[in-house]
Amino acid sequence: MTLNIFAFGIAREIMGGAAIGISLPEGSTVEQLISVLKGQFPALSGLTSFAIAVNGKYANIDDHISPGDEVAIIPPVSGG
């Protein structure tokens, strides 16, 4: 499946766009996605941390991702 992943803040700059297409095997977990992302964008590993949101909620590492899910990379937040 190909996911359209939203990126914000420094993740948007590292990935070179606000939305990036990533190919993943069907049924992949958030952990697998993180591994693919770090492989394609090594600078993500230099961040303090980053989370993945699925359909607008913070996802757990073992959550499965389905085609059509809204997936976003959440680098360290700094609002306020």
Partner 1 sequence: MTTYDIHISAAPLDVAQCIAGVMSPQSGGIDIFVGTVRDSTKGRKVLRLEFEAYEAMALSEMQKIAGSAAAQWPLHAMLIHHRTGALQVGDIAVIIAVSAAHRDAAFRACRYAIDTLKQTVPIWKKEVFEDGEIWVAAHP
Interface with partner 1 by CB under 8 A: which residues?
6, 8-10, 13, 46-48, 53, 56-58, 72, 74-80
* Whole-angstrom distance, CA of residue 57 vs CA of residue 72: 9
φ, ψ of residue 13 in degrees (nearest 5): -70, -40
DSSP letter assigned to residue 76: P
Least distance from C-beta 38 to partner 1, angstroms? 15
Q: Of 61, 53, 1, which is closest to residue 27 (Cα–Cα)? A: 1
Least distance from C-beta 75 to partner 1, angstroms? 6
Comparing CB distances to partner 1, the nearer of 15 and 75 is 75
Least distance from C-beta 25 to partner 1, angstroms? 26
